[in-house]
Structure 1
Amino acid sequence: MTRLDEVGLVARRLGDARLAALSVSAGASLLRQSGRHGDALTRDGRALALVDPRPDVHDHAAVAAVADVMVNLAADNLGLGRFGASERLLNRADRVLAPHDETVGEEWVTGRPRVRLFWVRAERALYTGDPATALIEARRALALVRRFGAAAPPRHRIKTELIVAAAVSASGDTDPAIRTARRLRAEAAAGDLIPLEWAALSLLAGIGDDDAYVRTDMDDRYRLLYARGMPFVTVTNDR
């Protein structure tokens, strides 16, 4: 995260609050992906303090920055089991994005945080034992990603399909979920998207894939991510 901190420092010197907030929030995402939700919450709180919570609706970059931070905070609270706070933050992000509704020609700059909003809503539904709602929200995200086509990076499409697979599995239909996760694991590996490959392997392990190499490969990718600086929870930083 050192380079992200440097970007944030330069952004603050230049008076670019949006870039400063996004650099802080990007660092928080690494912590969140590593299971350190409390640390991520602190960092995302700093990001929110850097942006105007009521951005000009015509400034799409500002709208995206505010919505992103709110979605991130919702994900942090979800990881901490604070479901009510998570829902309130998602609703706030939804209101920020409302003038850029996906039904009226939304651009990817604001479409991306909306996709992420659907992700967290789906994950919240999974956390609270509502796989039907999770599947609805995950499919909304997938429909939006597909509508943007090449404008949406492959990693967004892969993660979205992984969330759909998780919701399908939670609904009791594990075989198609396993097939999808295996395909996505291969696609992530081909694109050197190691965090997503690890996520796909973790999903496969969680839903009972009988491939003998799943857990071995998952541990291998974990070690690789750790070696590359992913700040996983340890006895010294456990939050």
Structure 2
Amino acid sequence: MDDEAFGSNPGAWPLPSAATPHDLWLRAVAAGGQGRYAHAHADLDQLTRSSPRGRFGSLARSTRGSFLRQLGWHDRARSLDGQAWALSGGTGEAGADALIGLAADALGVGRFAASQRALHRAADLIAAVPSARLPIRLAWVSAELAMARRDGSALAHAERAVQLAATAPSVRHRVKSRVVLAAAHCAAGDVDAARREGDRALTEAGDHGLVPLRWAVASLLAGIGSAELSPAQITDIRDDCAETVIRRGGVWRSR
């Protein structure tokens, strides 16, 4: 299951059955990456029933929070990430995930100072946790916060995410890092670079069945244009991804 959630096969479907709480969490992560939110929430429901507290209780809530943010519900995600933080005991992988989630939640509602504080605390935890994915997540949200603040460090954070993801096993993390880099180039005023990175991410997300990421980068390209596809083609991709998410159980805030 690691290969589907955090490895080279993020588009695999159907997913293998789950025999352990860890498997349930991995299944939910993999399904969410494909925009299969109904399936992902069903696995998280089962995980929460079997492991209501501790590490997996925390990770279940953090993962639900991440799904809500993907659909635009940052305000709703905050309570889940707060619960995740409490259940994590403030340590380890689960604690770092919860803090990064809280930072992203705060950023999404304009609470930039709170977001920065959560990122600083997350960085301290990550320094003590052997994880390939957590430093990448930290770099994503750091780049997004810098963009929101119109801080020139956004591009450096995004480039760090790409560099870290290049040596990590997760295709999904590599694709999202490229999406963040495209956005950072756009924020820096380098539209040609944003189009180049965005077009590449659009292809990779499509190749691997990463529907939410494909929607995100198509939404960016709809605003700045693609070097490879027409405006109508980009709009069709964006709208098709949005409808696919709805069919798979997602509810967009903007709709």
- Asked if TM exceeds 0.5, the reply is yes
Q: Percent identity?
A: 40
Distance in structure 2 (CA, Å) of the matches to 1:204 and 1:97? 33
Instruction: Name the counterpart of 1:103.
Output: none
Aligned residues: 212
Instruction: Name the counterpart of 1:145.
Output: 165
Instruction: Name the counterpart of 1:84.
Output: 113
The CA deviation string for residues 22-50 of structure 1, in whole angstroms up to 9 with x for no partner, is 11111111111111111100111111111
Q: Which residue of 76, 96, 104 maps to 1:67?
A: 96
Runs of 4+ residues over 4 Å off in structure 1: none
Distance in structure 2 (CA, Å) of the matches to 1:93 and 1:128? 19
Alpha-carbon contact 1:35-1:233 (below 8 Å) kept:
yes
Instruction: Name the counterpart of 2:194.
Output: 177
1:30 maps onto 2:51 in alignment? no
The CA deviation string for residues 212-239 of structure 1, in whole angstroms up to 9 with x for no partner, is 221122111101101101131167xxxx
1:211 maps onto 2:231 in alignment? yes
Alpha-carbon contact 1:8-1:21 (below 8 Å) kept:
no
Letter in structure 1 aligned against 2:83: R
The CA deviation string for residues 120-170 of structure 1, in whole angstroms up to 9 with x for no partner, is 01000111112x20001111111111233xx2x111000001111111121
Instruction: Name the counterpart of 2:51.
Output: 11
- By relative contact order (CA 8 Å, sep 6+), the higher-ranking structure is 2
Alpha-carbon contact 2:84-2:95 (below 8 Å) kept:
no
1:120 maps onto 2:141 in alignment? yes
Instruction: Name the counterpart of 2:12.
Output: none
Q: Kindly state the Cα deviation for residue 208 of structure 1 after the two structures are TM-superposed.
A: 3.3
Distance in structure 2 (CA, Å) of the matches to 1:223 and 1:212? 16
Aligned ranges 1:183-198 → 2 under 5 Å: 183-198=200-215
- In structure 1, runs of 5+ residues without a counterpart are 56-62, 101-106
Distance in structure 2 (CA, Å) of the matches to 1:74 and 1:175? 30
Alpha-carbon contact 2:54-2:87 (below 8 Å) kept:
yes
Distance in structure 2 (CA, Å) of the matches to 1:97 and 1:222? 33
Distance in structure 1 (CA, Å) of the matches to 2:149 and 2:249? 31
Q: Kindly state the Cα deviation for residue 113 of structure 1 after the two structures are TM-superposed.
A: 1.2
Q: Kindly state the Cα deviation for residue 7 of structure 1 after the two structures are TM-superposed.
A: 0.8
Q: Kindly state the Cα deviation for residue 99 of structure 1 after the two structures are TM-superposed.
A: 3.1
TM-score (norm 2): 0.79
Letter in structure 2 aligned against 1:5: D
Q: Kindly state the Cα deviation for residue 20 of structure 1 after the two structures are TM-superposed.
A: 1.1
Instruction: Name the counterpart of 1:39.
Output: 76
Distance in structure 2 (CA, Å) of the matches to 1:78 and 1:2? 28
Q: Kindly state the Cα deviation for residue 207 of structure 1 after the two structures are TM-superposed.
A: 2.1
